[in-house]
Amino acid sequence: MQILYQDEYLVAVAKPSGMFVHRSDADRTAASVVVQLLRNQLGQIIYPVHRLDRATSGVLLLARSSNAAAACGLMFSERRVRKTYCALVRGYCEANGQIDAPLISSRGRDQPADHPWAVPQQASTSYRTLRQFEVPITLGQYSTTRSSLVEAHPQTGRYHQIRRHFNYVSHPVIGDTSHGDGRHNRWYREHFGAERLMLAAVRLEFDHPITGTACDIHCPTAGSFTTVIRQLEKFRVPVSAD
Catalytic residue among 7, 27, 53, 100: 53
Q: Spell out the residues 6+ positions from residue 14 whose beta carbon is closer than 8 angstroms to its own.
A: 1, 2, 4, 57, 58, 59, 60, 219, 222
Active site (annotated) includes residue 53: yes
Q: Are 34 and 19 in contact (CB under 8 A)?
A: yes
Comparing CA positions, the residue from 150, 164, 163, 161 lying closest to residue 221 is 150
Contact 44, 14 (CB under 8 A): no
DSSP 174-204: TT-TTTS-HHHHHHHHHHH---S--EEEEEE
* Catalytic residue set: 53
